[in-house]
Amino acid sequence: MVCEIVVYNIESARRAQEGGADRIELCDNPAEGGTTPSVGCIESVRQNVSMDVFVMLRPRGGDFLYDNYEFHCMKRDLLQMQKLSVDGIVLGILNPDGAIDKKRCKELIDKARPLKVTCHRAFDMTRDPFEALNDCIEVGFDRILTSGQRSNAFEGRELIAQLVKASEGRIAIMAGAGVNEKTVTEIVTATRVNEIHFSATSFRASKMNFQNKHIAAMGEKGQSEFDLRTVDPARVREIRSLAEKAAISR
């Protein structure tokens, strides 16, 4: 069972490795579902972990329909990621009609080689998951991260199972979103996936001695600056253990 942990900072990457993760997906902006992290963050993570580092290639939050300026930004960011020796890229571009933008996805995949490339949850916003599955195979994606076109993978487990079957081993299907201690056994059993994607999130208190009590939070989502997002290594180990037991018994 391959366990990929989504992380949003350097500390989280190190703690994911401590917990025994196989791979990380490195992003910025968790409130927007993940965007491209800074070059400095990518470089520091690459230098401080030995596991595979996949990096989000997404120029902004919101939908997955990008204009020419944003597409140029993605190509430039990809070039920098390659220079930093990452192991893989995570991306997804859609057409206005909800189909995979095969032309642009293929251009980025071809530029990324020999790096591995995952289609992220833009897949879950497509008009037809089986059409999108074949499109992803056609343009050369190595895997698809999906919640089964539902808000979480537990709710979408039936479709994920259908995608695993329809893929016929031509592309890896990775279940993600809402994968945790309570859901992982049923997700792995029902879908027969061999890869899972989860966050194992925890928060730690800031080490700041002085804290301005007049400002609760500066960000739009209202998270306090004194509650810092990280990864709990013990949760990584527990979720992996549950997933492996479920895979053996199915």
pLDDT at 207: 81
List of residues 6+ apart from 225 with CB closer than 8 A: 206, 215, 217, 218, 219
CB 12, CB 205: distance < 8 Å: no
Domain boundaries defined on the chain: 2-249
The answer to whether 206 and 171 are in contact (CB under 8 A) is no
| Cis amide bond preceding 114, omega within 30 | yes
- Three-class DSSP category at 215: coil
pLDDT of the residue at 224: 67
Q: What percent of the chain has pLDDT over 90?
A: 85
Q: Is 204 helix (H, G, I), strand (E, B) or coil?
A: strand
Tens digit of each residue's pLDDT, the chain (250 residues):
999 999 999 999 999 999 999 999 999 999 889 999 999 999 999 999 999 999 999 999 999 999 999 999 999 999 999 999 999 999 999 999 999 999 999 999 999 999 999 999 999 999 999 999 999 999 999 999 999 999 999 999 999 999 999 999 999 999 999 999 999 999 999 999 999 999 998 888 878 777 777 666 665 565 666 778 899 999 999 999 999 999 998 7
Helix 68-83 and helix 39-48: axis angle, to 10°?
30
CATH fold of 2-249 reads: TIM Barrel (3.20.20)
Q: What is the pLDDT of residue 234?
A: 96
Q: What is the pLDDT of residue 211?
A: 76
